[in-house]
Structure 1
Amino acid sequence: MDKLLFYLSCTILLGLSRSTSEPNAYAPEIISTLQNSRDIPLFRGSIQEDETTVHLEPQLFARDNDTVGAARLICRYEIVANRKNIPFEIELKNRETGEGVLKVREGEHLNFEKRKHYKFNIFAYDCVDPPYSKRSNRAVVTVKVLDVDKFAPVFDKTTYSADLLEGTVSSNIIQVHAHDDDRSPENSGICGYDIVSDDAPFLITNDGILQNTKSVYHTDHYSFILKIRARDCRGMVSEPAYINIMVKEKCRNGWTDFPDHIEYTPGTGRHTLTDSAHLQVCEESCTVDRVTVKMTLQTKHIGKGCDRDTYSIISQRKLCGASDGSVDLLPAPTLTSNWTNAIPTDDGNDGDKIYAFDGETNHVVVPEGHVDHTLREHFTISTWMKHSPSDGTHTKHTHSGKEHLLCMSDGDGMSRHHYALFIHNGKLVFVLRRESAKESDLEVFKPAEWRWKISEVDDGQWHHYAFTMNFPELHLYVDGKLVEATQDNFEILDDWPLHPTDRVHFTKLVVGACWKGLDETYVDHFHGFVAGLSLLKDRTESERVIQCLNNCQENLDFTDLEDMPSGTSVSFNSDMTEFSITGRNASDVEMLVRKVAYVNNRNFPTPGRRNLNIRTSVHCGQIEEILPLKESYIFVEHSSKPVITVTGKNLVLGHQSELDTGLPVFKDVSIHVDFMLASNSVEDSEDESEEIGNDTSDMHDADANTSLLDNKIPAVDDSVDSSSTKILLDMCTVRAEPVLDFYVEHLELPKDDIKTFNMKLEGIETAAGLVILNADTIENYMTVLHDIRYIHTQAGDLYMRKFVISCSSQSGRFVSNEFEINVGARQVEEEPRVVPVANIQNSGAQQSIVEPKFQNHLAGAAGTNFGMVAIIVVCVGFLLFMIVLGVLRIRAAHHHRRVPTNDNGQEMEWDNSELNIIVNPIDQELFEYEEHPHKATLPDDSDTDDDISECFQDDEDNDSSEEEMETAVKTLEWDDSAY
């Protein structure tokens, strides 16, 4: 027994010795003075939602009974929870004591309104390798989030409206209400309301009830606008709200103080229809629960229902900043694009070409050289279209009931539609069949047909349609507004892609029908009107540009949608010419009507009368009372008419070498604009305005969105500086008289300059001259004109070439003067030989005659005085000899070479009854300039030959010689009958 006890004692001592000497014998232990019901250590914490450190009770510590090495140290804490998103972490402060601090994890934010309490477990780990091999006991932590008053009160509405009967004191005019988004009771309460407005006979209770302190009368104040604020119990104050109090006078049904007409001055921007109109609805007989006002502006007599189309479609696109790559599929016929010749057009300006399709025979084939037919994943198709339901008479070539506006199909072998735009059973349909090059895509089903059921398709009115494709997303804009797709108005059908085939060798792109390649016939013709059909490939047009192209420059305007009273609504049509306003009472409706304005952003709107009708109805339960029709009108006054003037040098001379390479004959041309004030009286224009209202043929020009170029023209008078007022030109013509002979002469456009300046101008050259098109600034037009070169390869035969320049704006509405420029050749190749003769004139002066052989070499007035003395000596020495031989030389020279003929082949006549100086026709122009300087421009005479007449001048008296020269000029006889 003693041995057994000894053995046990040794074993126990040995075990104790081993346990105390092992490096990681004990696990960490979390210590807390608080415990839950299961004796688990407990920590309670609290933190405000804007703090980052939790206040724990008690403070967090952990210990490890190991005495040596890393085993006695605490290395980290772990948070374990059943729920995710615990936004806390424990930061270890001391490894020896295991002190830890509970903090909000970086990037996390506490929100009392979202979560108020957190509960989770924590564990501690020692530092022995392998890491964290021993874990402590479990401890429980609860954290309470404390609310911070961070939200100020907010009113339920920003604007309140109320009525107050004049002469009464009301204890409950209206009650307002504000709320606080803080959740805690101490922070979420509203403790009071205050009126900020000064000197208002009103007070508001802490419950938000508005009262007036004394009687008010309509004659003194027809309304009050009170600014109010709400405050919570911690003192935070709300943003202001407003109470609009209408002081009601004695009841009279109908509108009062609504003007019978409004005069509108072009260039003045928004013009409110009324600032003082009052709608009175008596409620003695019934309780009014709804008031409706419909305002209609009559503009259908102008253009396409709007004063819009001043410039061509191409120019409108430029003004709106549209993409450059857009291609017009229905261009106006020119020498280079004449495939639209066969389609009937309206009687409007070419700048707004409208094509009429009869639904039976006519269509247009767009050449592939004009545009690549293929469409890919990104493009925009846009057009103006007017279409009415079929009456059954146009069915000859419409087998399927489809009316194709646009169709690209196989040209031969097959009849597949690659893409198409058509109308079918009141639906607008777009088809796009993908052409896949990958075999893996051939069996992939993807969207191929998009259908819209919209009323605009068949309403017989002009509408603008734009299809923007970012495959497979296709958006439709009608009149600049995106069509919201719903189950009732939109559907998409999927289909296979087109499979590659060797049977088809080309395709056809047709406007107004569809080509059936297998039968080689045109089918499904379109019946309606189309204008401005354009295609933008491989990119899409921005929504801003689409809206700009549709912006009607003349419309009603309403901008205060955010300040509308509760229970009111405002609706309007796409052209902004019909407004419907509905409210619970007359005062609300009246307030909204006062915010309606008339806008006409055209620089030069069509003057005249636009009728404005106001229809008002009052609903009392099931009873509707229609108030008398209120008729008014807007009179658009005449704007200051721009007068475009082209000026410059009338005579341009060039050497043969210059004409061979190109002479800038228009480099001195200048274009400027003045404004002529027109009559603005209503009485003087009543008859004219009525004619305008009934005649649509003159209303075809209207404006694009020129505000994008910041060239709005203000109302001006005679004092306006035209240099600061911008208008756009849209055409300049250079007319050649007679027509150009392309074998030896032509006009050359500065294509490089146009590209360099990024101008969107186009030039067309014919034998009749040159045409520059599209809306652009005067400066850009002048740049192009200055760099146009006139080339004549046989300048020696050139007598005189005339060009006539004319420019216009707004599709010919404003046209400049016709400015003439004469172009001639100047030659300095030989010195002329002089034959002095004695010619007895009334003045008794001696003169000289130039051989006809050299008469084209004289192009100026007096030459240089170089060698004057020697010339005089020679002249005097041979004077008698010249008198004898003069007449003989004249006759011989006359038969040897005749004066060049004019374009009609008519020869110039030489009258030798008296001895006169023979002068180049160009010199005659110069002489005419001396007598009539306003009719011609004197050319530079620095390169002219010596003046032969100096042989007979006194070199010491230049003034006298100039007077003699002038006298001689006046006696010259030039027969211009052939010109």
Structure 2
Amino acid sequence: MRRIELDASNEMKCSTRTNQMSREFGKWLRGGWGTGIELVNELGILKAKKSLNCEKRKNYKFDISAVFCDGSHSKSASVHISVIDINEYSPTFLQPSYVTEVDEGRLYQEIIRVEATDKDCTPLFGDVCKYEILTSDQPFTIDNEGSIRNTEPLSHKASHNHILSVVAYDCAMKQSAPVMVNIRVRRVCEAHVMGVAERIDYIANSMESVSLFPKIHLELCDMQCKGEDMVIQSSVSLKTKHISFGCDRDASQCLKKLNEEEQVESGMVDLLQKNTEWTKDLTYDEGTESIFHFDGSSGAIIPKNVLKSQDFAAHQFSIMTMFRHHSIATNDKHTKEHIICSADDHKMNRHHMALFVRNCRLILLLRKNFNDGDLNIFSPAEWRWKVPQVCDNEWHHYTINVDLPKIDLYIDGIKFESNVEDRHSNPEVIDDWPLHAAHGINTTLAIGACYQGSENRLKHGFSGDISEIKLSLRKILTPKQIRCGTDCAEKLLPPPDHFLEPEQQIQSNTQMNKIIIEGSNKSNIEQLLQQIQYINTKDNPTIGRRNIQVMTTVSCPNKKAIRLPTIDTYIMVTSSNISSPPATASSTLYNKILVDKPLTVDQKPQIAITGNSNHLVSYPDIKDGVKILAQINISIYTGKEIRPALQKLDSCNVIVFPSLNPDHEEITIDDKDGTDESLFKFDIKTKISKDGVEMIGYDTIENYQHILKSLVYINKKPAYYLNRVFKLTCSQVDDHFRSAEYTLTLTVLHPKQQPTSAATSSNVVMAVPSVIPTSASDGQIHSSAAVAADSHETNQYAHAMLHSHDIQESQSKVHNLAHDKAQLASSHSTMLIVVICASFVLLICGVGIARLRNNGSGSGASQSQNVDKHQPCPKVAPEQQLDWDDSALTITINPMQNDNLSDESSESENSDSEDEEVINGRYKNVSQLEWDNSTI
């Protein structure tokens, strides 16, 4: 058997003659084509009379035999013929074109599948191995199976359809004719709120309301609930937390109007006012708001002609105040910070009435006088409220109504309800005896601190900002009067009731800064939203921005609600003499953003901030204060041009890294180059915190630069940090366009250490304790060692290099035995005994050693006489008698201990401990709050 492969010649040569053939060759032989066998030199040639096609038949098989001349036949032989394939066909697609539709905004795993075939008979030429998209820059891809998918969400707005040209390849990479694939983008209706303006202008002092959403429209995309009504809920919120007090308030006008309606006199005494004799030395904002800054060491004494001495425990009264406490993380739980305090005016330090903050508690102290009852009967004397508002660094309004034995606290107009936390009552009430009789002693009323009569100075100062301190004497405030101090003058006005339909409701909170509308009628919901208005009734309101947020949800009963995209806009309160933003290029820019038209590269504003990146300062300069951004320059470009119409900003932020330490660092605004009032004429609200400076307001770049260049950084302890990093960013058009981050590194140049002699160093160590902090009240301690330290010597040693730093610590008390021997013996006998005992032990040991060395020379009597010699204690020589002299002896009290040497009221020491021990028995919860040293 022979296997023969035929190529295009279709000719087969054999050395035998055919006896029997298959059908095709048999037809050829019998069909008049001749024998099909041609003998050439006894070689039989088998020929095909027609072309063979692999696509029609790949193989042929038949038997042949030779016929001899005598007519006999040889044995038959099998012939197998395989037709070799050639790549004569290209792949063809099953369809002349493809069309499909997809939804916009989605990513598909497969959009459509195209398929092509090849007529060639072998896998090499007949299989399709690859598909390709010839159209470039299209967000589509195709795999080897012909599956087309998108690589990014499609947008109907960008392109309604995408036409692709796709080809197929067989495994020999023969390309097909291209086929067109048309992918249509179907617009998907996204439910959202429409017709809300980007900015709403409100003119200050207009006293008129303005509609917020006159053209608001809800696009719900034919959303329906089967057989039930759809529930639509929209909420409108006014965000004013960035305003100084959380919102514009006008308590004075409110109280005046309320008193006129009720025809009663106010009776309120305002203790914290601008332009008064007792507040002229306090630091306060120059703006319209009355905000006084207290740093813990400042305060004011109320003159007697403003308010005479009062016996607060004898009558009912109210305290109304608004403050922002600067809470600093500390382990000291005993520091008191007074808002108001009535204490003895001289000789003693008894606190009669006080409102102060300690350990994140708001504490009211109220002591009864000796003539108010039995001196041996305990009565409530201190109320401690544990409230988080005291330490959140935010503005809050506090009102305390005192009508003994009932005390009520109102925070932001809401009454505080007594409760129990961790088995402790809140407020915690501490009992005490009444004050004992003290003839000829009156009281002094102070704000921001407490007056210490025995020291004739203010102590226990408040750290933070206080806006108002008012007293209502001999009567307490009513709930309406309290609301006057907490209600905001700016508010949202809900729609009138006549617009309401059945099964619809409108809700608003007590502050009138949030309105919720709920109903099922879409048209009526839109009408109600269009009626919402904003009004600000305060005289001279705070200029600047108020954010507005609109949130809408749509739901069917018992189904999950669908939340529409939140809409953010803002109200810009502008002064009546300040025009609105330019109606030229700036308004065009706002309109483009409003209608969502994409801006070209040349139209997009580019905010550029330039200046030096490093600033070197010395110790004296940084202690006095340095202007950190004095060299900056801000410009806004569109394309390559600076367009004057767009040279305005919405906000700038200065971030300090690491955050400031309020103990010795601060950022202030210095306006020496201009008038102090000029800063507050800007449409910019500036807030300074330990993390940096935040400025908000639509104003010119020049005004922003004026404030930025006036920022002064002060560091009283520059040795603590080698450098500070200040990062500045600015934005425009509601934060749509932001500048790149500008970074300034402030580096402190540390002075070279000044060497001192070894001898001087040793003298200092001998004469002065290692740590003796001083304060302004105690003055400075001078010694011979300090004088010796100033001397110049030629020999300098490395170990004698000294460098001094200013360290602020708690005040310590240093007493000289020669001057304060009597007082120390009475008030600190225990400590003195310990020191004397230790001294005698050392003395006895030294005497024993000396006697051993001197073989018993000297006597104890002579040594005892040397004890009273007031001479500096010299170094002990090997052969010298030990002498003791305490004339220069000083005792340093550990400044970290809680006991103070000054005689203060016991309520500041004994009753203020958070973990105060409770005396078992009849004196439980009783603290000795007062100390009287008049007889000492």
Question: Could you say which TM-score interval applies, normalised by the shorter chain?
Answer: 0.3 to 0.5
TM-score, normalization by structure 1: 0.34
